[in-house]
Chains A and B, each alone.
Chain A
Amino acid sequence: MSEFLQALSQHAFLQTALIAGLLAALGCGVVGTFVVVKRITFLAGGIAHSVLGGMGAALYFGLDPLGGALAAALVSALIIGWVRLHWSTQEDTLIGALWAIGMAVGILFIAKTPGYTGDLMSYLFGNILLVPTRDLWIMAGLDGLLLAVILAFYRQLLAVAFDEELARLRGVPVTGFYLLLLCLVAVTVVLLIQVVGLILVIALLTLPAAIAGHWVHTLGGIMVAATGLGAAFTSAGLALAYAPDLPVGPTVILLAGGAYVVSALAAGLVQRRRARRRAAAT
């Protein structure tokens, strides 16, 4: 650990990586909370994987892959939202199809892109150590956008997540806010792809919020706790991976996954003990 701290003070790329992890944690904490309570992990997965199509196309046409990823994420969020609202009987099949088609398109584009296209693995599994400084500013800008939208429309987003029928009866345009929520998920997915790659995005999006949900019982509280957990996982993953030279993304995910399993078991135990104590008290 001291070795990592020393390296952190010396190497700019490690500082950049640490900041990227913290910026990603903010998105995964705040938006991940909505994903977990609204139970749209599968939709988020579809969005994440179809991003490869946009990245591949951007590379092929010589454009910025991050821009391609953002465009693809937003388009697939709108398509998936539309499918869920108008074609709900086939929802899971269609989202599964989009998921696969997006990835296939991306891989074909990358294969046909002339010259060196970077390691395909780094898109799939991310490489936080290769985040350019310029991307930090983009990530910070996207975080700011996410927070601004959520603060402005917190009540409506909460209503759509909590009780769609009530929201509709209170005159909230449910379709619009549902699609807005999926677009927020899309932006967050792009933030997180920088850190853990698109295969592992879902884990970082949902695990911190799910762990927080075991112990905190207000939406705002879960957002704060999940952001803190996300920051802890990305920072600790970076530090743990440094000395043995492990890939950072999978290390972060294993930390988060391990913490989730421990938290779920502990929460179950606490709940059982509380129920037993209550039964004994009567």
Chain B
Amino acid sequence: MNAETAAVAISGLSFSYGDALVLEGVALTVAQGEFLGLVGPNAGGKSTLLKLILGLLEPQAGQVRILGRPPAEARRLLGYVPQHPGFPRDFPITVEQAVLMGRLGVGLGWRCWLGGWSAADRAAARAALLEVQATDLAQRQIGTLSGGQLQRVLVARALVGDPRLLILDEPTANIDQRMEGEIFDLLRALNARMTILVVSHDVAFISAYVTRVACLNRTLVCHTTEAIDGQLIQDLYGEDVRRVAHQHAA
């Protein structure tokens, strides 16, 4: 596997805000079709790494390639679910319109830029809402949704552009545990057709779903999921972490 065919290829990546070194010599290769969990303590650099992968920040040292291209050129192949939605909840917009926003930049020539949504855009929005089982929410105003419903809609918005790489930042931080399982079951199904990178603080929970875990605390170490034990978590977080065994009925 090389940088041309990998979903994500990062080498020698360092980044600092002023004097605070956030990422140091990070190397990471994610193969296409992988389901990678990115875990680490708060302020460990997870969000910064995501911003570099999304092309919202420029690397100060090292290189990031997404599907063989610089991040800024690969954006339309990405779907992104932010931890905190970047809009006020009272914004006057329906769920359907909010999902359609994820279709911007899809299409060729002037249709990509001028005028309203095409029939293909609307069909894609319906399909994405169906996939996350939120069809009945289409005409609701975005502010009337519960946390779990909003999370599904944000996933639909990321799916509607037909991404090859789906990136989620703490997708289950604001929802209850039953929903958490549902969201990850959905991601497992989506993983059949796209690469998935999910950031989480809950290493024990995601290890049941992902194929590999990358631990980030300024530097990055990868583990296969079988290798995750108490010692590893302690190394990562630097202190004893209370672990809860997740036993979900299949």
With both beta carbons as reference points, the residue of chain B lying nearest to A222 in the complex is identified as B92
**In the complex, what distance in Å separates the CA atom of A150 from the CA atom of B100?**
18
- Asked whether, in the complex, the Cβ of A155 is within 8 Å of the Cβ of B87, the reply is no
- Known A162-B98, A219-B92: A171·B76 in contact at CB below 8 Å: yes
Q: Which of A154, A171, A219, A222 contacts B75 (CB 8 A)?
A: A171
**In the complex, what distance in Å separates the CA atom of A151 from the CA atom of B141?**
22
For the complex, is B80 an interface residue (Cβ under 8 Å from A)? yes
Which bucket holds chain A's interface residue count? 20 to 34
**In the complex, what distance in Å separates the CA atom of A155 from the CA atom of B107?**
13
Number of interface residues of B (CB under 8 A): 30
- Asked whether, in the complex, the Cβ of A170 is within 8 Å of the Cβ of B91, the reply is no
- Asked whether, in the complex, the Cβ of B93 is within 8 Å of the Cβ of A166, the reply is no
For the complex, is B102 an interface residue (Cβ under 8 Å from A)? yes
For the complex, is B78 an interface residue (Cβ under 8 Å from A)? yes
Which of B112-120, B171-179, B183-191, B199-207 contacts the other chain? B112-120
With both beta carbons as reference points, the residue of chain B lying nearest to A33 in the complex is identified as B92
- Asked whether, in the complex, the Cβ of A158 is within 8 Å of the Cβ of B92, the reply is no
Interface of B is mostly: loop
Q: Which of A151, A165, A171, A213 contacts B82 (CB 8 A)?
A: A165
A153-166 vs B, CB cutoff 8 Å, 1 = contact: the mask equals 11110110011111
With both beta carbons as reference points, the residue of chain B lying nearest to A172 in the complex is identified as B104
For the complex, is A37 an interface residue (Cβ under 8 Å from B)? yes
- Known A154-B116, A218-B92: A170·B102 in contact at CB below 8 Å: yes
- Known A162-B93, A216-B92, A218-B93: A167·B104 in contact at CB below 8 Å: yes
With both beta carbons as reference points, the residue of chain A lying nearest to B87 in the complex is identified as A163
Interface of A is mostly: helix
Q: Chain B residues with Cβ under 8 A from A219's Cβ?
A: 92-93, 97
For the complex, is A152 an interface residue (Cβ under 8 Å from B)? yes
User: Which chain A residues numbered 218 to 236 have a C-beta less than 8 Å away from chain B?
Assistant: 218-219, 221-222
Which residue of A163, A169, A216 has the most chain B CB atoms within 10 A of its CB atom?
A: A169
State the A residues within 8 Å of B (CB): 37, 39, 151-156, 158-159, 162-172, 213, 216-219, 221-222
State the B residues within 8 Å of A (CB): 54, 56, 75-76, 78, 80, 82, 85-88, 91-94, 97-98, 100-102, 104-105, 113-117, 141, 157, 161
